């Protein structure tokens, strides 16, 4: 039926200026539904600590749990490209990084995502040397919530914006295969797009990125509490979960999502 999405397909979108879609997936059923709805990439995110486990941060999530959920997602051999998150402290040393990446890749992941900036250069290079594609998550990196003092938009001051741009440029040059920007003003995203070549995935990072990602439960509108500014409920107005996933995919690809009300402008 459909060909499987590979890293080259995702890189081709960046080169061509076209867009792709990503949602989080933690289990076999939703992985298959999302993939069948046309979603190009699935992220086994450590957000599962909040949406599945009920914690108030991602810090309690263990490597063992990430391996388990990655295996659940990949077992159905989804057409979509599967990325697994390194949980808190799983990439603290080079030795830890290699062991954690090995277990996640052996569970079926096709790429590993790590949170942080230029301090990850060593890990990115070593992973690339061993054949592991890497996504670097910058901006509001939830594992740093205790240093940030809350879940706050990043890059609002000139100094932090400059640091984010420099970090993205350095990681891209060092061979990061993908960048993910969370909660940064549109103008910071524009600067990062100008100095990088890898596909850039955004969440609360404006319309200019190559791709958009949302937490599955957020796009279905079933996460308790007040949704973040960048969240759109795609289930309201759709006849089914499948239709909501497909509406998200179409809205990302057409550029209809994110709209100005989902963005941070300064
Ligand atoms: O853990 C996660 O789901 C994430 C996305 C929200 C980007 O990192």
pLDDT digit string (tens) for 211-239? Answer: 999 999 999 999 999 999 999 999 999 99
User: Measured from the CB, is residue 100 less than 6 Å from ligand 1?
Assistant: no
The H-assigned helical ranges of the chain are 7-16, 28-36, 48-51, 63-74, 94-106, 121-129, 145-148, 158-173, 186-194, 216-219, 241-254
pLDDT grade for 266, boundaries at 50, 70 and 90: confident
User: Measured from the CB, is residue 71 less than 6 Å from ligand 1?
Assistant: no
The proportion of the chain whose per-residue pLDDT surpasses 90, expressed as a percent, equals 98
- Domain map (residue ranges) of the chain: 7-262
Q: CA–CA separation, 78 vs 264, rounded Å?
A: 33
Q: Which atom of ligand 1 is nearest to the CA of 142?
A: 8
- pLDDT score, position 52: 98
Residue 258: pLDDT over 70: yes
Structure tokens at 142: 């939830």
Cα 40 to middle of ligand 1, angstroms: 16
- pLDDT score, position 103: 98
Q: What does the pLDDT average to over 80-100?
A: 97
Residue 21: pLDDT over 80: yes
CATH number of 7-262: 3.20.20.60
Q: What does the pLDDT average to over 191-201?
A: 98
Atom 5 in ligand 1: which residue has the minimum CA distance? Answer: 45
Look at the pTM and tell me if it is higher than 0.95.
yes
Q: CA–CA separation, 87 vs 46, rounded Å?
A: 6
- pLDDT score, position 2: 60
User: Measured from the CB, is residue 179 less than 6 Å from ligand 1?
Assistant: no
Q: What does the pLDDT average to over 166-194?
A: 97
Shortest CA distance to 107 belongs to which of 28, 38, 166? 28
pLDDT digit string (tens) for 28-54? Answer: 999 999 999 999 999 999 999 999 999
Output the CA torsion 238→240→241→242 (10° steps). -100
- pLDDT score, position 24: 98
Ligand 1, residues 23, 215, 227: which to mutate, most atoms within 8 A of Cβ? 215
pLDDT digit string (tens) for 6-19? Answer: 999 999 999 999 99
Q: CA–CA separation, 24 vs 18, rounded Å?
A: 21
DSSP symbol at 223: S
- pLDDT score, position 109: 98
User: Measured from the CB, is residue 215 less than 6 Å from ligand 1?
Assistant: yes
Residue 1: pLDDT over 60: no
Q: What does the pLDDT average to over 202-219?
A: 98
Clarify whether 182 is annotated catalytic: yes
Contact 243/220 with Cβ under 8 angstroms? no
Atom 2 in ligand 1: which residue has the minimum CA distance? Answer: 45
Q: What does the pLDDT average to over 78-95?
A: 97
Contacts of 228 (CB under 8 A, 6+ apart): 183, 204, 218
Contact 37/31 with Cβ under 8 angstroms? no
User: Measured from the CB, is residue 35 less than 6 Å from ligand 1?
Assistant: no
């Amino acid at each position: 039926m459909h060909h499987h999405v590979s890293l080259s397909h995702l890189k081709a979108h960046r080169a061509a200026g076209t867009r792709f879609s990503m949602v989080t997936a933690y289990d076999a059923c939703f992985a298959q539904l999302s993939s069948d709805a046309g979603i190009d990439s699935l992220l086994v995110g450590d957000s599962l600590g909040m949406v599945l486990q009920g914690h108030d941060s991602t810090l309690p999530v263990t490597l063992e749990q990430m391996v388990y959920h990655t295996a659940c997602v990949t077992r159905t051999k989804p057409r979509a490209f599967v990325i697994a998150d390194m949980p808190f402290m799983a990439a603290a040393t080079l030795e830890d990084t290699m062991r954690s990446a090995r277990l996640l890749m052996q569970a079926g992941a096709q790429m590993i995502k790590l949170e942080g900036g230029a301090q990850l250069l060593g890990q990115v290079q070593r992973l690339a040397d061993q054949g592991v594609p890497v996504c670097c998550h910058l901006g509001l990196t939830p594992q740093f919530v205790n240093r940030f003092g809350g879940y706050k938009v990043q890059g609002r001051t000139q100094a932090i914006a400059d640091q984010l741009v420099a970090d993205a440029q350095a990681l891209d040059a060092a061979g990061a295969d993908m960048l993910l920007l969370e909660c940064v003003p549109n103008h910071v995203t524009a600067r990062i797009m100008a100095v990088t070549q890898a596909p850039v995935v955004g969440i609360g990072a404006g319309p200019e990125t190559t791709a958009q990602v949302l937490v599955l439960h957020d796009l279905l509108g079933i996460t308790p509490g007040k949704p973040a500014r960048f969240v759109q409920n795609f289930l309201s107005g759709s006849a089914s979960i499948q239709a909501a996933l497909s509406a998200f995919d179409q809205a990302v690809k057409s550029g209809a999502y994110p709209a100005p009300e989902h963005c941070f402008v300064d």
